[in-house]
Each structure stands twice: as structure tokens, then as C-alpha cells.
Amino acid sequence: MPEYQVRFAAGPAEEEDREEELRSLLRWLTEDESLDRAVRGAVRGDEPLGPGHMGAGFDLLQLAVGTAVSTASLVVSVLQWQTSRRRGAPAVVLRRGGAEIELSREASADPELFRRAVELLDRAEESGDDGGTD
């Protein structure tokens, strides 16, 4: 089962907002019929919080995606989630192996950017790349 990590690009959002947005994205992906309900995930913390913070900072979405789901379908679903957000969605960073891409709402209007993003993530799977960021 291919695995992805999803986080939001750096921005002014509060930790609570990031967690709620990640949970919203997870709900969207697990309920998306075009993904054949073959996405499972969990929101978790990427790194420990610094001194003076209580609790855990949930800022990462770990996804396991069924083999029948294409990378393109997953990327399309993420872009659809972004464009559906009324107050605007943050840029989404999608990582698979050593490949990492950033998707903004504007990416849905750029077919070449979409093609390159999917190609990069697919190559990460084929090569078994586990290191570095592209």
C-alpha cells in the first residue's frame, strides 16, 4: 500500500487550525467515491512542541492508499478539497518517499504543474526513493 505524508506549507495558521484542516482533508479523502474509499489515514504530530507548550501538536496526516488508487486521483482529490474551502485552504505539501510537492489552489488551473507533480510522486514509488526532497 503506497504511503503519503501530508502537511500544510508554512503559514500563519494556529496549531488548532492546522489540526482541524488536516482532519477535514482526511474526511474528504476517505469519503471521496472517486478514490473508491481506499484511503486510510491518521492525524499525528510531526515533531515535539517546544518548551511552554502543552499537549501534542498535530500537524501531519499519514495516509495509506490502496494500490488501485492512482497518484493522479489522489492529487485531484486534494485540489478539489482546496477549492471547496470557503475561507481558503492552505497550500498542501504531499510527500511520498523522497519526493515532496507543494499544491496550492492555483495548481488546479495549471495542467503542466499537475502533470509534473504526479510524475514526480509516481517516480518516487517506482524508484523506491526514501531519501532527500525534490
Task: Encode pLDDT of 1-36 as tens digits.
Answer: 789 999 888 765 555 578 888 899 999 999 998 888
The number of CA neighbours under 13 Å toward the Cβ of 22 is: 27
What residue segments make up the domains of the chain, in order of their start?
A: 3-127
Pick 3-127's CATH classification: 3.30.70, 2.160.20, 1.10.3470, 1.10.260.
3.30.70
Please give the Cα distance from 37 to 25 (Å, whole number). Answer: 14
The model's confidence at residue 128, banded by pLDDT at 50, 70 and 90, is: low
Strands 99-103 and 92-96: antiparallel
Burial grade of 38 (CB within 10 A; 0-12, 13-18, 19 or more): middle
